[in-house]
Amino acid sequence: MNIKLTEKSSTKTEIRFITPDELEKSRYKKLLESAGFEAKEESSCFLYEKEKLFVGLDDKTPNSLRTAAAVAARALKKANFKTVALSVNEKSIKPVTEGLILGAYEFDKYKSEKNDKKITIELVSKKASELKPLFKEAKIIAESTCFTRDIVNTAPDDIHPGTFAKIAKKLAKENGLACTILEEKELKKESCNAILAVGRASVHAPRLIHLAYQPKNAKKRVVLVGKGLTYDSGGLSLKPATSMVTMKMDKAGASAVLGMIKAVSELQLDVEVHAFIGAVENMIGGNAYKPDDVLTSRSGKTIEVRNTDAEGRLVLADVLDYAQDTIKECDYLFDFATLTGACMVALGQYTTGVMGHSSRLKHSIGKAASNAGELTGSLPFNKHLRKLLKSEIADICNIASKPYGGAITAGLFLDAFIKEENKQKWLHFDIAGTAYTESPWDVNNYGATGAGVRMMSEFVKSL
C-alpha cells in the first residue's frame, strides 16, 4: 500500500469517515442503511457504484480516527480500487497515517503466493506542505512498529540469538547507532550467570546486545531493556504443547526496544537512548538448568530456581544490572517483557501492565500511551507480595510461593536488581497480553502488534 500526501486528488474514489450524527444527515443514508451499515467503530461499507468506502466512527478523537483508518486499510485490501482519496487536516493526519500503515500490515514471508495488489491512498489537504512534518513523523513511528512486528512474527528457526544480533547490527549500520554485542566468552567475563544458565541447553549461545543513539545536544538519557527469548520451551519445566505455539513472541520485548530506538533515531530527537537486549533461547537437554539450581547473578545476588519457565526475569536480572553499570547516570530506565500470563488475567489482553515506584512517572507514561493509542494499567507493588519471593537457601526465589499476583511478584523480582539511585527512574512493562494477538483488534492484525513502540516514541518525543 502506497500512501502519499497531496494537495489535489487524482481520483473520484474516496474514503469517508462518518459518525452516527453525520449518517443521519448524509445523502447516502438510505443506501447505507439498506446495506446494513451502522456508523459505529470497526464498521465499513462499500458503495461501489458511488466509488465510496464509508467507515464508521464513534467520534473524531485521534484514537477513533486511527482505528477507522486501519479498518479502511483492511477493507481496501479486499477491493480492486487502485487509487483512493481521503481528506485530512492537521488533527487527523497523524492518526490516519498510522492507522493506514498498521491496518495494511501483513506478514507473508512464508507464503508462496503473495498479495500483490497495489493500492495508492492519497491523503488530500490544501495545506499538504504544512502537514509534511506530521506525515513523516507518523510514517516513521508506524513503520518502526511494523519493523518490530516482522521480527516477532519470524519463525524461531530463523531468529535465534545469533541472527537477532545480526538484525541489531544491521539496524545500527543503517541508522548510525553504536553497537556492542557480548557473546558467550564476554558474558562469562561479565558473570552473567543467569543468562548463561537459561541459554546453555540451546545450540545457539546467548547474546547481550547494546545499541546507542547519541545526538550531540541530548536533553535527556533513556535506557531501554528488552527480554529477547527467541524461543521459550519452558526448559525442564516444559510448557504444554498448546502453550508452546506462539512462543516465538517471547522476543517481543527485545523487538520492541529495537523498534523504539529505530523510531527515535529516525525522528532525530534530542534524547540519548540506549537499548539493551538479552537474546536467549530456553531449551531442554542434558545440560539444561534445573529447578533447585541456585544461580549467582551478575549483581552477586543468588537466585533459587523453582521453575525454569520463569526464565525471562532471570535474563532481565543480568541485563538490567549490566545496563545500570554501563550507563551510570540516566533519567529513565524502562524494561519491556512478555513476562507473565498473570498480567493478562489481571488486565486482559489489550492492556500493558506498568509497575514501578514513581506514581508521577507512571502517570506520564499513561498519558503518552493514551496519546499514542495504546492502553496501560498500573499494578501496585506491596510488601506482602514481596515476602512471597523469599528463599530459604538463596537471596531470592525466581517464582512466588503462592500463585496469586503473579505479574506483580515478577515485577518485584526485577525490582530486587534495580539500584537504589534508579528506583524512582525505573518502570517495568509487562506486554505478555498486548504483544501478540490471534484475533485482529483495533490497528492490530493477526500476529505481533509492536506493543510499546508507539507509546515510547510518544513519551521520548515529549521530553
Per annotation, catalytic residue among 313, 362, 425, 454: 313
- For 53, which DSSP code? E
Secondary structure (3-state) at 229: strand
CA dihedral 446, 151, 75, 42 (to 10 degrees): 60
Neighbours of 270 (CB within 10 A): 12
- Cβ 332 vs Cβ 220: under 8 Å: yes
239 is catalytic: yes
User: Alpha-carbon distance 206 to 311, whole Å?
Assistant: 13
User: Alpha-carbon distance 311 to 194, whole Å?
Assistant: 9
Q: Following DSSP, what letter does each residue of 441-456 receive, concatenated?
A: BTTB-SEE--TTHHHH
β-strand partners of 261: none
- The secondary element (H helix, E strand) that includes residue 304 is strand 302-304
User: Alpha-carbon distance 317 to 195, whole Å?
Assistant: 8
Under the phi-then-psi rule, with left for phi > 0, alpha for psi from -120 to 50, and beta for the rest, what region is 235?
left
Per annotation, catalytic residue among 50, 239, 301, 367: 239
Grid-cell match 534495580, residue found: 418
**Which of 237, 236, 239 lies closest to 248 in space, CA to CA?**
239
β-strand partners of 210: 180, 276
User: Alpha-carbon distance 342 to 210, whole Å?
Assistant: 29
β-strand partners of 44: 55
User: Alpha-carbon distance 296 to 287, whole Å?
Assistant: 17
313 is catalytic: yes
Hey, which residues are catalytic here?
239, 313
